[in-house]
């Protein structure tokens, strides 16, 4: 397994996350020079946005797929396709957690067709997957964006905010 992380191998670190209105509570924030910012509770409700993403060993986001609610096998196949577009047909190793979806026969076969091999993290060891840092930073970004820019009734704008929150994470942080 350690040979997988040698410089000669293409490795993508993959994980899923969910962005919900529960992350943004009805609060009052204070920004220096701007005063108080309040988001009323009635304005906060929106359907969860699920994300699957991959980063390379340099911390660049390589694949990114967003969906309403949760990531299923169809969205995960679409995600694999997006990684293939970015990486080409050379063999790529995906480092995944042990989500049941990742172990589905259909997903394993589809990944193999796309020249991807699946490697699984040790159980209950998310700290070993560097993409977890992406989620922590991106969710903080998302909260900040929501304070000033969110229109919780506009689904496409929420998708844009989630995408920006993820893509704005500096690679040096990861």
- pLDDT at res. 64: 95
Q: Return all residues near 67 (Cβ < 8 A) that are at least 6 apart.
A: 49, 50, 51, 75
**Overall average pLDDT of the 33-47 stretch:** 63
Question: Regarding beta strands 10-19 and 49-55, do their DSSP bridges make them parallel or antiparallel, or are they unpaired?
Answer: antiparallel
| Res 42: pLDDT | 55
Residue with tokens 């993959």: 14
Mean residue pLDDT across the chain: 84
pLDDT of residue 33: 66
pLDDT digit string, tens, across residues 112-127: 999 999 999 998 888 9
* Percent of the chain at pLDDT exceeding 70: 78
CB-based contacts of 122: which residues, under 8 Å, 6+ apart?
A: 128
Output the pLDDT for position 4. 54
pLDDT level of residue 40 (50, 70, 90 thresholds): low
pLDDT, position 2 = 46
Residue 58 has pLDDT above 80, yes or no: yes
**What number is the average pLDDT over the span 21-37?**
61
Picking from 165, 168, 171, 170, the residue whose alpha carbon sits closest to that of residue 18 is: 165
Using CA atoms, how far apart are residues 133 and 136, in angstroms rounded to an integer?
Answer: 5
Between 4 and 103, the higher pLDDT residue: 103
Domains assigned to the chain: 2-167 (3.30.420.10)
Spatial separation of the C-alpha atoms in residues 56 and 119, rounded to whole Å: 14
**5 pLDDT tier (thresholds 50, 70, 90):** low
């Amino acid at each position: 397994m350690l040979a997988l992380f040698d410089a000669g191998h293409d490795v993508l670190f993959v994980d899923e996350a969910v962005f919900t209105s529960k992350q943004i509570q009805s609060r009052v924030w204070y920004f220096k020079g701007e005063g108080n910012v309040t988001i009323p509770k009635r304005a906060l409700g929106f359907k969860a946005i699920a994300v699957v993403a991959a980063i390379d060993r340099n911390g660049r986001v390589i694949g990114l797929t967003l969906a309403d609610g949760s990531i299923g096998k169809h969205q995960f196949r679409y995600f694999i396709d997006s990684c293939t577009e970015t990486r080409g047909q050379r063999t790529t190793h995906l480092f995944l957690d042990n989500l049941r979806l990742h172990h589905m026969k259909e997903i394993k076969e589809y990944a193999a067709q796309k020249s991807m091999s699946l490697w699984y993290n040790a159980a209950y060891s998310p700290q070993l997957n560097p993409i977890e840092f992406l989620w922590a930073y991106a969710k903080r970004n998302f909260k900040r964006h929501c304070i000033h820019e969110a229109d919780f009734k506009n689904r496409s704008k929420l998708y844009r905010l989630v995408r920006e929150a993820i893509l704005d994470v500096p690679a040096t942080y990861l």
